[in-house]
Structure 1
Amino acid sequence: MIFRKKKAVGLSEHLTALEQGVAARDSERTERAFGAILGGALQAATGAEHLDAGPRLAALLPGFPPVGPRSVLATAAGFCVEQGADPAVCAEPILTTVQEEVRAALDFARRWPDAELPAADVEAVEGLVARLGGDEYEALRLALAWCGIEEWQAPALAVLCRSGQVRQEFGAALLPLARELEALGRHDLKCLVYALAVLDEEPLVVLHRPTGTGYEVRIGGIGDNFQLHTLLAHVLIGGGHLPGDAPSAASVRLATDPAPARGRSDVTAFGSFDLLAPDGGPIWNEGLPDDIPVVDGRRLLVLDTPAYGRGWNADRFFPLLPGRADLLRVLPAEETAAWFARTTVGSAA
């Protein structure tokens, strides 16, 4: 008798079984295939297999029950994106489902009967369901969303940090919801909020109060105002337009290099300005370019003499996002004066 070696089942075959199980609402087959994918098939797959698997896994999200392991499925799709699968193709089902989960978490908060919201503790779901009351399935759905929302950040970041198109398409709808949920103080959604708030191809009017000069700059891919600060100093001081010490080449490279730094660097960036809103209030380095107010259709930022020296680690907030700040033009004196007139700080020149 000739014994034939059993052919190894690869990721694609397990995916087919998973797709068939979901389509047939066959929970046993779905669980078996999903377990095989997570149990080793996904990690053992080649790069080409990940390219195919990412969109297929993401496409299954709408068919997965809300009280099931949807975040795990999304994370598997996000893993494939990290291995090279197309983020734009995977983004719609991932981010649409993230939006559903954020809305469900907000609905939980609105329905919670006590004055103080509970901690987001997966181990406490059963008690939260009983306290919420009403339809048991719906209460479970909302409690799981409340307790598990942070698990959705990784797959969301996988697509948001790899595509400006994805950020532009989904940021406007999802950002206010994520901020509303984070403001409740029970979840750490900073990375999701920051990624959704990244500006791409954004025009920015920059006024330098000490010299009374103005500039039009286009920014993109900047994760926080530390990175913005460095890039503005590079363009305006390093470009010879403003006095002062230009940022080091190492700090500029960390802010702009398409290849992210490997691990944390020991490079320090130093502050060249105080960043101000048009009303004179501070724009914090810890904040976002999205914090800069829009005035007459343009974000308007005022740079002033720094009140004190400051420095920070030059690594960017999102290692995968290289920032850009391009000087489009130096504003003529009349246009600069018109922009200064829109502020309460005025020119010191």
Structure 2
Amino acid sequence: MIFSKAGFGGAVADFEAAVVAQDAKRSGKTFVRLQETFGQAKEEELLAGGPRLAAVLEQVPPGPRAVVAVLVGACVERGADAERCAPGVLAGLRAAVEGAAAFAEAWAATGGGAFPEPDAGEPGAETVERAGFEAAVGWWTLRQWEMAAVALLNHRAVRAGAGGDRDELLQLLTAVEHASGQQFRSLGYALQVLDGEPLVALHRPSGTGYALRFFGIGDNFQLHTLLADALIGGGHVQGYAPSPQEVAVCRETPGQVDTVGSFELVAPDGARLWNEGNPADIPLVDGVRLLVLDEPAYRRSWPAGRFFPGMRGDLILERALEAEETERWFAHVSPAKELTG
């Protein structure tokens, strides 16, 4: 067998040609070369290789398809065009989640029990017999599709392009989690990231309100720090203002910096909103996310940073609300419930 040229670029070209020709033997050998050469790939090979591999994903056999998707995600993390790679990877993700959901149903219908733990190989004969090959592969490869998809969903344009598909995928994923007892938290949170949504924050101790808008915030730890920067650092309310370093790592600077809590995050009904949750947990009131900020129940500290290190986050304070407008929003708010834990 003669390969076109050495290196990752050559491996991509050979794999692409073998897949299109449906040459199983050559596909297998070039698949191995893809993995062997990726670590030494040059920038231009990664930029070109990601979209080329994504374009043939649908034609790759089910077993190795998820591994190729992970390579596409790795190319995106190193600069390949996420929007060009997105259609192939997100289509593969949908097939995997749908397969895993079908697997969960079939597993329950054939006696239930603990879900098999995926390994580096393919599903065993008993697993395939109980659920069917496509469903078993969906479950077997879902972790790999999670890695690949999150790499692409780090990009706002990809999230925007996915649109309502993200809600459908989240529903399927939630069903899989409930049935299997396993969590796919990174994928679940990535599917819930909000961009450009309005947020009204009511600071109960001062009786003031603020209109904000957030983008690319992965969890409420990150939101908490950015809220403290906008409202306390901006001189609007009293409390602990995070340092510029603490804020920077919550936007786009790599790393983590220790911080402390500035607020208690509370839903309009008085229930606590956990820092471990995400902004999608904040209830909608009249089409707007409505958040109440109380004094911290006790001192808490954590490493400030981003749940998704590759995703840029931001929170923009648009304006302080007028007193009458603030009063109208406070009309939707119940007294805070006792906070414990």
TM-score after normalising by structure 1:
0.88
Distance 1:120 1:235 in 2: 45
In the TM superposition, residue 185 of structure 1 has moved relative to its aligned partner by 4.0
Note closer, same or farther for the CA distance 1:97–1:327 as it changes in structure 2 (3 Å cut).
same
- The answer to whether the 8 A contact 1:254-1:316 is kept is yes
Distance 1:13 1:321 in 2: 31
Q: Secondary structure at the match of 1:60?
A: helix
In structure 2, the partner of 1:149 is 142
Distance 2:78 2:41 in 1: 10
Distance 1:79 1:248 in 2: 32
Deviates more, 1:330-339 or 1:188-197: 188-197
Q: Secondary structure at the match of 1:184?
A: helix
Distance 1:340 1:179 in 2: 33
In the TM superposition, residue 234 of structure 1 has moved relative to its aligned partner by 0.8
Q: Secondary structure at the match of 2:242?
A: coil
In the TM superposition, residue 10 of structure 1 has moved relative to its aligned partner by 4.2
In structure 2, the partner of 1:208 is 203
Aligned partner of 2:6 among 9, 32, 36 = 9
Aligned partner of 1:332 among 322, 326, 330 = 322
For residues 52-91 of structure 1, the aligned pairs below 5 Å read: 52-66=48-62, 68-91=63-86
- The answer to whether the 8 A contact 1:278-1:344 is kept is yes
- The answer to whether the 8 A contact 2:20-2:56 is kept is no
Note closer, same or farther for the CA distance 1:214–1:7 as it changes in structure 2 (3 Å cut).
closer
- Partner amino acid for 1:128? T
Distance 1:110 1:117 in 2: 13
- The answer to whether the 8 A contact 2:4-2:14 is kept is no
- The answer to whether the 8 A contact 1:259-1:320 is kept is no
Q: Secondary structure at the match of 1:207?
A: strand
Aligned partner of 2:225 among 218, 230, 248 = 230
- Partner amino acid for 2:128? V
Distance 1:168 1:288 in 2: 18
- The answer to whether the 8 A contact 1:226-1:286 is kept is yes
Unaligned runs of 5+ in 1: 1-5, 133-138
In the TM superposition, residue 254 of structure 1 has moved relative to its aligned partner by 1.6
In the TM superposition, residue 345 of structure 1 has moved relative to its aligned partner by 2.9
For residues 287-326 of structure 1, the aligned pairs below 5 Å read: 287-326=277-316
Q: Is 2:244 the partner of 1:245?
A: no
Deviation by residue 1:34-79 (Cα, 9 ceiling, x = unmatched): 2222222x3333111211111000111111222x211111111112
In the TM superposition, residue 242 of structure 1 has moved relative to its aligned partner by 0.6
In the TM superposition, residue 321 of structure 1 has moved relative to its aligned partner by 2.1
- Partner amino acid for 2:14? A
Q: Is 2:7 the partner of 1:20?
A: no
Aligned partner of 2:160 among 140, 165, 168 = 168
Q: Secondary structure at the match of 1:159?
A: helix
- The answer to whether the 8 A contact 1:150-1:188 is kept is no
Q: Secondary structure at the match of 2:98?
A: helix
- The answer to whether the 8 A contact 2:14-2:30 is kept is yes
- Partner amino acid for 2:27? T
In the TM superposition, residue 22 of structure 1 has moved relative to its aligned partner by 1.7
Q: Secondary structure at the match of 1:268?
A: strand
Q: Is 2:150 the partner of 1:128?
A: no
- Partner amino acid for 2:92? T
- Partner amino acid for 1:281? A
Distance 2:6 2:295 in 1: 65
- The answer to whether the 8 A contact 1:150-1:187 is kept is no
Q: Is 2:40 the partner of 1:49?
A: no
Q: Secondary structure at the match of 1:201?
A: strand
Deviation by residue 1:62-105 (Cα, 9 ceiling, x = unmatched): 11222x21111111111211221101110111011111101100
Aligned partner of 1:259 among 238, 242, 253 = 253
- Partner amino acid for 1:290? A
Q: Sequence identity, in percent?
A: 44
- The answer to whether the 8 A contact 1:125-1:147 is kept is no
Distance 1:73 1:187 in 2: 24
Unaligned runs of 5+ in 2: 337-341
- Partner amino acid for 1:259? T
- The answer to whether the 8 A contact 2:128-2:136 is kept is yes
Distance 1:86 1:144 in 2: 28
Larger Rg: 1
In the TM superposition, residue 317 of structure 1 has moved relative to its aligned partner by 1.4
Deviation by residue 1:15-39 (Cα, 9 ceiling, x = unmatched): 3332222222211121122222222
Distance 2:253 2:160 in 1: 22
Aligned residues between the structures:
327
Note closer, same or farther for the CA distance 1:37–1:147 as it changes in structure 2 (3 Å cut).
closer
